[in-house]
Amino acid sequence: MAIYKGAGVAIVTPMFQDGTVNYEKFAELIEFQIANKTDAIIVCGTTGESSTLSNEEHLDVIRYCVEVVAGRVPVIAGTGSNCTESAIYLSTEAEKAGVDGLLLVTPYYNKATQNGLYEHFKAVADSVKVPIILYNVPSRTGCNILPETVVRLCKDVENIVGVKEASGNISQIAHLAALAKGCVDIYSGNDDQIVPIMSLGGIGVISVLSNVAPLQTHEICQKYLDGDVQESARMQLEAIDLVNALFCEVNPIPVKAALNLMGMEAGTLRRPLTDMEPANVARLEKAMKEYGIL
């Protein structure tokens, strides 16, 4: 059974100007998501700036998220690493915190072979009992997990259940769906490909857009799941300009700027990420106004 179907938010980690985590605002963002029908919360992923959180901060944010959500929607924790032992540590601690699932990114920089990826993910999965979603984002990691490897893992390892596909390669995702024959829960990792991936058998999205438009992103998925493909596609296309603006600089720079424009006080970014260029802020603000969220 899938951890969730629909739109899961890859939630930001709000911060004070000094770079420390703003837990009060984090709670407000979580409540905003739940009030607007978000189907799951993915905490400490790329959008949550996990790469610049210490292990202690990383786990504190996960624990706090689980506490605030209090079982109302699934909480999925990003606990991947390019070090297998680090991923095992974060994953086992997140499981103790009560998460409903884990999101494991492909090891970055190391550029493991497919056999290396298999061994890495299997070792992490064997250390926990909660279900796991793999995360394929080669543009950020320099490493592409091939469809054959995803299917092998989902068949061989009981608690590896799905993949967040952010390769952007629809042909690869179609090949994955054909090989999987339903044994892999496929989530779109790109907000401009929700409907295309669901048309190939995907069951939802892990979304950046949901941070600022949770109800709309939920509805894109729900309409598709309910069989209203035409309306789902219309809503997908309506969001394209905003999605493009949210990715005109590296994520999560624009989405934090968007939340700040909405008065949500997501705060600053940790270096090496920097504030958004003024011209891109203007583009983002225009797209948000045209979409009706500002």
Which residue among the candidates 135, 187, 224, 291 is catalytic per the annotation?
A: 135
- Residue 162: strand pairing partners: 133, 185
Name every residue whose Cβ is closer than 8 Å to that of residue 77 and which is 6 or more positions away in sequence: 42, 43, 44, 62, 65, 90, 94, 97, 99, 101, 102, 103
Which residue among the candidates 5, 25, 164, 223 is catalytic per the annotation?
A: 164
224 assigned to active site: no
Name every residue whose Cβ is closer than 8 Å to that of residue 281 and which is 6 or more positions away in sequence: 257, 261
Counts for the chain of helices (H) and strands (E), in that order? 13, 8
164 assigned to active site: yes
- Cα–Cα distance for residue pair 220/209, rounded to 1 Å: 11
- Cα–Cα distance for residue pair 256/265, rounded to 1 Å: 8
What residues are annotated to the active site?
Answer: 135, 164
